[in-house]
Amino acid sequence: MSKKLREPVNQNELSNHARFHLTAKIQTGEVLELLPPGSFAKLENQPNDLPPFQVIDCKGGRCRVRQQAWGRYVHWEVEHNRLKSA
């Protein structure tokens, strides 16, 4: 048996319902290169004298990367599509 949907009666009841969050549309035609944690990658237009970045992790189209000289707790978040495997 299915439940019948109905309108919320008051504001408190409305706040108890799950909410949908809209996000930006992701371009689906672009294939991203696999960058596993621990691998090294270069930015587009990265100068030759700058060493590659080490990939910490990638989630939701963004990657956290770091330079080995920066120390263990300093990282930078960059769009996945700006990175290429080194």
Convert the pLDDT of each residue in 15-33 to its tens digit: 555 566 566 655 556 667 7
User: Using one digit for the tens of pLDDT, what is the confidence trace for 38-85?
Assistant: 999 999 889 999 999 999 999 988 999 999 888 888 999 999 999 999
Does 43 map to a domain? yes
Q: Do you know the residue count of the chain?
A: 86
Is residue 9, in this structure, part of any structural domain at all? no
Domain enclosing residue 52, as ranges: 26-85
Task: Assess contact for 48 and 86: CB atoms under 8 A.
Answer: no
Could you tell me the two tokens for 62?
Answer: 């963004």
- The separation between CA 4 and the C-alpha centre of its own chain, rounded to angstroms, equals 38
Q: Is residue 50 part of a domain?
A: yes
Two structure tokens written together for 22: 């809209």
Number of domains in the chain: 1
In a domain, 21, yes or no: no
pTM above 0.75, yes or no: no
Q: Is residue 60 part of a domain?
A: yes
Residue 10 belongs to some domain of the structure: no
Tell me, yes or no, whether 19 lies in a domain.
no
Let me know if residue 14 belongs to a domain. Answer: no
